[in-house]
Structure 1
Amino acid sequence: MTSRFLPAAALVAASVLALAGCAGGATGEQTGDGKLQVVASTNVYGDIAAAIAGDLVEVQSIITSVAQDPHSYEASARDQLTVSRASLIIENGGGYDAFMDAMIEGTGTEAPVITAVEFSHDWPGNAGHGAADHDDATDDATPESDATDDHDHDGHDHIEGFNEHVWYDPHTIAHVAEDIAHELGELDAANAATYQANYETFAAGIDGIETSLDELKTRVGGQKVFVTEPVPLYLTAAAGLENATPAAFSQAVEEGQDVPPATLLEAVRILTSGEVRVLIVNAQTGGAETDEVVARAKGAGIPVLEFTELVPDGDTYLTWMQANVAALADTLSR
C-alpha cells in the first residue's frame, strides 16, 4: 500500500528530524496545555473526531481543501512531523489515503491507528468491529469483481472490488466514531465519560440520517442513478437506488484513465434510455468523459448532483450527509 511513497517518506523523515530538532516522540505528545493530539487524514475524520472530543483534544486534519486529492496527495515534512506527535491517528485506509501509511511507517509512531475501512461490512474478511450486523444494502456499493486482488490506482494500491469511500456509509461511520470514543477514553480515562456521551450524541445524528435514508428508500427505492465515480454508492444503496453505471466507466474515471470507447457508448445509451433519474458527479474531479456524460444527461433532462469527498466549509459531517440525502430526496421527488 505504501510502495509509491516509501522512498519519499524516507526523505521526509530526515526533514522531520531537522524540523523537530530530533525531539518528536514516537508515542505522541500532548500540546502545551496538556491536550491530546488527534491527527486525521482528511477533514471528514477530523470533524468526526472533533464531535467526539469536543474541546478536550486538539484535532488536526492533513487534507482540508476540496482542491486537494487524497488519492494523489504527497505528504510534506511538516505533515510527517504532525503525525509523529499524534496521540491518535485516524485514516480511511483501503488505499484511499496511502500517504498516511507512509507517514506512520516513516515516523515509527506507536500511537493507536483507527482505519475506517475495517469497520465496513464489505471489507474483505469482514474485519470491522461491529460491522457484521450491517444489512445487505451496501452490496450495490461495491463494484462486481474479485475483492481479493490489489491494483494500482493513480499510484496507490487499493482492494479490487472494494469501494473505499466508506464515509458515505453512515452505519460504518457510527462504528468508527464509537472506536474514536473508546480510544480517547483509553488515552484520557478522566474524560472517558464525556467522550462516550459525545459519541452517543453523534450516534443519534447518524440514526437521523439512516431514518431519512429509510424514508427515501420507501418512496423512491428501485430508481436508477448514474455515478461518474463510486464515491456516493454506499449512500445511494442505503436509499434503495440502483446503480446503472457500467463498472468499467466509473472505474476508469476514478483511476484517471481513458474510458474505453465501447464503455462510453454504453454509458451514453444508458443515460438516454429514459431510465436514469439522476447523475451524480464527484465535484473534486473531472475530465472529458465526465463532461460528456454531464452534457448527455442535461440534454436528456436528467438532473445532475455534485457530491464531494471532503466536508464543505461551514458543514459538519452530520449536516453534510443530511444535505446529501435531502438533495437526493428533492431531486428524485420531482
Structure 2
Amino acid sequence: MRNRFHFRPITLTAALALAGASVAACSSTSDGNDPSGAADIVATTNVWADVASAVTGKDVEAIITGDAVDPHHFEPSAKDLARIRDAGTVVANGGAYDASLYTVAEQDRIVHAIPLLDAEEAHDHEHDHEHDHGDHLPDSLDELEHAWFSPEKVREVADGVAEKAGGDAGGVDTRMRDAEAKLKSLPHVHVAMTEPIAGGLIWGTELHDITPEDYLKASLNHQEPSAAAVAAFLEQLENGEVDMLFVNPQSTNSATQRLADAAREHNVPVVEIRETPPAGQNFLDYFEQIVDQIADIAAHAEPSGHHDH
C-alpha cells in the first residue's frame, strides 16, 4: 500500500525558513490580539473550511482544494505558507495529515481536531511510520488521523472556531449529534476497511471492525499488505462474515481493487468514503449522506454466521 504520509524534508525546511524570515516583518501586523487579524480565517483543507464556513457564516478559504488532490502528498507553495502564517485563525486537522501547512503558524492561532506536531516531529514522522495498536481502533480519538469523520471531533473544531473567530457552532453541533445518535443506534454488524478511514464513524458504536489484523497493521503503517493478509481478507468476504466494506476511492491499488471486486461479487455492500467530498458538495452534507448509507445497510443486514473476535 502506498505511503500516504510522505512529507518531503524540503517542504518542511522551506516552511521553517519562510516562517523564520517573516517573524520580524509580520509581528506588528499579525498580532493574534488584533481584531482585524482575528477575523481573518483560513483552513488547511476544504473539509475544515466547510465546517468553519458553517460556523462563521462566511466563505472560508481552503489551501488544499479539489477532490483530485491527495492532502497527504500536498506540497505547499511559498504563497500557501504565507497565507497560513498571516491568518488570524487557522483551522487544521492536526497530526501528520496537514502538518506541511499548519507548522508555519503560531500554535495559539490554530483550531485543530487532533494534537499538533511541530516541524521537527512532522519531519521525523516521514521516517517513522510504525504504529502499534492492539485493537482495530486506537485508544483515543486523538489518534484518529481522519478526524473529520468523527462527529465528536467535528463538534470540537466547530466550537473552537466559534470561540476564536466568532459565529455560532450550534448548527454544526446539532447535525453532528444527530449523526452520532443515528450511528450509535445501529445494531451489531461486522465491517471491514481497505484503509482505516472510517474509524471516527464507527467509534463508540456496535459497528465491529473485523479487518484482518495483519492487513490492518500494514494499512496503518502504509505498507503493502502481504499476500496472506489479502487472502484472509478475501476469505472473510467470501464466507459472508462482513456486512459492509469501507473503501476509499481516492486511494486504490491492486489489493484494494481485488477486495472491492470480491465484496460486490459476494453481495457485500460497499461504502465509498472519500478523503474529500466530491466536487461541489459541502462536507457536512456529504458526512450525513455517508451516515445515512451506513444506517440503511446496517438496518437491513442479516448478521448470521458471524464469528466475533
TM-score with structure 2 length normalisation? 0.77
Q: 2:250 aligns with which of 269, 284, 293?
A: 284
Give runs of aligned pairs for residues 259-274 of structure 1, distance below 5 A: 259-274=225-240
- Could you say which residue in structure 2 is the equivalent of 1:168? 149
1:212 to 2:178 alignment: no
Q: Kindly tell me: are residues 313 and 62 of structure 1, through their superposed partners in 2, closer, same or farther at Cα, counting changes over 3 Å?
A: same
Residue 273 of structure 1 deviates from its aligned partner by: 1.5
Q: Kindly tell me: are residues 80 and 151 of structure 1, through their superposed partners in 2, closer, same or farther at Cα, counting changes over 3 Å?
A: closer
On the 8 A contact 2:90/2:102 being kept in 1, the answer is no
- Could you say which residue in structure 1 is the equivalent of 2:114? 117
Give runs of aligned pairs for residues 183-198 of structure 1, distance below 5 A: 183-185=164-166, 195=167, 198=168
Report the Cα distance in structure 2 between the residues aligned to 1:269 and 1:151, rounded to whole angstroms.
38
Q: 1:229 aligns with which of 195, 209, 222?
A: 195
Report the Cα distance in structure 2 between the residues aligned to 1:116 and 1:288, rounded to whole angstroms.
32
- Could you say which residue in structure 2 is the equivalent of 1:67? 68
Q: Deviations over 1:79-116 (max 9, x none)?
A: 11111220011211121222124433xxxx47611221
- Could you say which residue in structure 1 is the equivalent of 2:267? 301
Return the letter of the residue paired with 1:38: I
- Could you say which residue in structure 1 is the equivalent of 2:303? none
Report the Cα distance in structure 1 between the residues aligned to 2:232 and 2:204, rounded to whole angstroms.
26
Return the letter of the residue paired with 2:172: F
Return the letter of the residue paired with 2:110: V
| Paired positions, count | 278
- Could you say which residue in structure 2 is the equivalent of 1:36? 39
Q: Kindly tell me: are residues 204 and 158 of structure 1, through their superposed partners in 2, closer, same or farther at Cα, counting changes over 3 Å?
A: farther
- Could you say which residue in structure 1 is the equivalent of 2:140? none
Q: Kindly tell me: are residues 261 and 206 of structure 1, through their superposed partners in 2, closer, same or farther at Cα, counting changes over 3 Å?
A: same
Q: Kindly tell me: are residues 331 and 110 of structure 1, through their superposed partners in 2, closer, same or farther at Cα, counting changes over 3 Å?
A: closer
On the 8 A contact 2:11/2:100 being kept in 1, the answer is no
On the 8 A contact 1:13/1:80 being kept in 2, the answer is no
Q: 1:182 aligns with which of 137, 156, 163?
A: 163
On the 8 A contact 1:95/1:159 being kept in 2, the answer is no
Residue 118 of structure 1 deviates from its aligned partner by: 4.1
Report the Cα distance in structure 2 between the residues aligned to 1:311 and 1:244, rounded to whole angstroms.
26
Q: Kindly tell me: are residues 159 and 87 of structure 1, through their superposed partners in 2, closer, same or farther at Cα, counting changes over 3 Å?
A: farther
Q: Deviations over 1:256-277 (max 9, x none)?
A: 4211122111111111121211
Report the Cα distance in structure 2 between the residues aligned to 1:3 and 1:295, rounded to whole angstroms.
28
The DSSP-based 3-state class of the residue aligned with 1:95 is: coil
Report the Cα distance in structure 2 between the residues aligned to 1:3 and 1:254, rounded to whole angstroms.
14
On the 8 A contact 2:7/2:126 being kept in 1, the answer is no
On the 8 A contact 2:193/2:247 being kept in 1, the answer is yes
- Could you say which residue in structure 2 is the equivalent of 1:27? 30
- Could you say which residue in structure 2 is the equivalent of 1:199? 169
- Could you say which residue in structure 2 is the equivalent of 1:244? 210
Residue 13 of structure 1 deviates from its aligned partner by: 6.5
Report the Cα distance in structure 2 between the residues aligned to 1:246 and 1:153, rounded to whole angstroms.
25
TM-score with structure 1 length normalisation? 0.72
Residue 48 of structure 1 deviates from its aligned partner by: 0.8
Report the Cα distance in structure 1 between the residues aligned to 2:173 and 2:129, rounded to whole angstroms.
31
Q: Kindly tell me: are residues 152 and 312 of structure 1, through their superposed partners in 2, closer, same or farther at Cα, counting changes over 3 Å?
A: farther
Report the Cα distance in structure 1 between the residues aligned to 2:66 and 2:217, rounded to whole angstroms.
24
The DSSP-based 3-state class of the residue aligned with 2:43 is: strand
The DSSP-based 3-state class of the residue aligned with 2:243 is: strand
Return the letter of the residue paired with 1:181: A
- List gaps (5 residues or longer) in structure 1: 120-149, 186-194
The DSSP-based 3-state class of the residue aligned with 2:71 is: coil
Q: 2:279 aligns with which of 285, 305, 313?
A: 313
